[in-house]
Amino acid sequence: MSYLSIKFIVFLIVLIAALKLTKGNNTHNIILLIASYIFYTLGDIKFLVLLLAVSILMWQLGKSIGKNLHTKAAKMYLTIGVIIDILVLGIFKYFDFFVGSFSSLLGMQYTSLNVIFPIGISFYIFQSISYLSDIYTEKIEAEESALNVLLYIGFFPQIVSGPIVKAHDFLPQLKKEHDINWDGVSWGVQRFTLGLFKKVVIADRLGVAVDAVYSAPAAYSGLSLFVAILSYALQIYYDFSGYSDMAIGVAHILGFDLGNNFNLPYLSKNPSDFWRRWHISLSSWFRDYVYIPLGGSNKGKVRTYLNLFITMLLSGLWHGASWSFVVWGFLHAFTSVIHKVFSDIKQKFNLRSKNNRITYFASVIATFAVVAILWIPFRTNDFRKAVLIIKRVFTWSAGVHYVYVYTLIFTGVLIVVEVIAAVKKNGNDIWQPLDLSKFWTKVVFCCFVILTALFAYIGNSAFIYAQF
């Protein structure tokens, strides 16, 4: 079920009514679990059994880990659980890719099995690993009841495209009363509306130009391709942050806090800063469950660089089963390691950069340029096409000129927001909910809703990250 449908609005209203008409935390959790599974089955009923099987298995393994803490048995159960999660993800997402790649390498023929990709599997598998790991590291206790585990893994606002919520952040919330009140609804509706605006007004309109130019890059001029690269950098940001805002807003209406998933990533000063601001829930997941378990930065410089490289490469592979995503992850890993090396050199020799506005501005522009270029193989999913685009841009090739006016408008909007954030909020997101108890703030919000409806692009409602 899409957030961008009347069906979802009706679904949410019925759910809120059911929660308001009933009492008791356990009853509310049961209603939320039923609602989550209805939401999931309306998207694709075929894989509800898989979701249930994974959830129940994680619940049982979690109990086994909890009963055997500080023993080899606990580590064994954790290892079994992680292996099962990786196998499930590998079979449904990567089987054709890996087998096909090895077959080509060995010169063998391989007929794709065309394994159907279950909705949200990349997200709920990572939450399953989080649950087992958090029990093992004693951040949480194992749940005796299956209800909370099933609801944590299958919670509908974030199951399709995140945010990836860690077990130690979410499970304690299930043990509190879900108070649906005016403040929570007001905050959530405003955040949802902001996400809706980002998606249907900005991202979907930019997608028109991106789709046109990327479909035939050899026909367009270097200038047109440059604008298309910029357009896609904006599109993917507004699309995914828009979805995150909508999910966070819905969860907040229901009394849950999913945290923030974006913090003005194109205001980043370096690659490391970018990954602290972009898809925060995924970056922090890899930090907590991959980078730190590998040793983090506590085993020497070389090992630190290797751990960082492995983490970033796996992050790239998580996004998709193709060599384009592997290359994308490799290049981001390379830039992150290079930045880490230079940072260590500066620290060793006590070299300090001038901390002024010119240096800051140059760092932001350089980081954005690198990120935007690396979005090319991500968007094309075709390495040859990506190389063609880069070549035509840097040689400023002749061709059809197509400069999309909305790219210029929304680039201007983003720059204004980032300048305000840099000056007023030390580079952090400036969004604040309106106090809707006042008449004029109600007028402002209603005008924003009307503008969203008037300028919404109707034609492409798919969220980019839903494919991952």
Q: Where are the domains of the chain?
A: 6-178, 183-467
- Which residues partner with 400 through β-bridges? 220
Report the Cα 373 to chain-centroid distance in Å.
Answer: 19
Report the candidate in 119, 122, 133, 120 with the shortest Cα–Cα distance to residue 166: 133
**Dihedral angle sign, alpha carbons of residues 310, 316, 319, 324:** negative
- Which residues partner with 220 through β-bridges? 400
Report the candidate in 213, 199, 202 with the shortest Cα–Cα distance to residue 403: 213
Q: Do residues 325 and 378 touch, judged by C-beta distance below 8 A?
A: yes
Residue 283: φ, ψ to 5°: -60, -45
The whole-number pLDDT of residue 348 equals 76
The whole-number pLDDT of residue 345 equals 85
- The H or E element that residue 120 is part of is none
Q: Do residues 31 and 18 touch, judged by C-beta distance below 8 A?
A: yes
The whole-number pLDDT of residue 111 equals 62
Give the CB-side neighbour count of residue 442, counting CA atoms within 13 A.
4
- For every residue of 77-97, DSSP letters joined together read HHHHHHHHHHHHHIIIIIHHH
The whole-number pLDDT of residue 461 equals 67
Q: Do residues 404 and 351 touch, judged by C-beta distance below 8 A?
A: no
Per DSSP (E only), the strands in 180-337 are none
Instruction: Tell me the catalytic residues.
Output: 319
Q: What pTM value is reported for the model?
A: 0.92
What is the residue whose two structure tokens read 């060995």? Answer: 106
Q: Do residues 78 and 133 touch, judged by C-beta distance below 8 A?
A: yes
Average pLDDT across each block of 10 residues of the chain; the chain has 468 residues. List them in order.
Answer: 85 94 92 95 84 96 96 96 94 77 68 73 95 96 95 94 93 89 93 95 93 93 95 95 95 94 94 93 94 88 89 87 83 90 81 74 93 93 89 91 92 93 90 90 93 85 70
Give the CB-side neighbour count of residue 198, counting CA atoms within 13 A.
24
The whole-number pLDDT of residue 344 equals 83
One-letter amino acid at 463 equals F
At 356, is the secondary structure helix, strand, or coil? coil
The whole-number pLDDT of residue 119 equals 86
The whole-number pLDDT of residue 174 equals 93
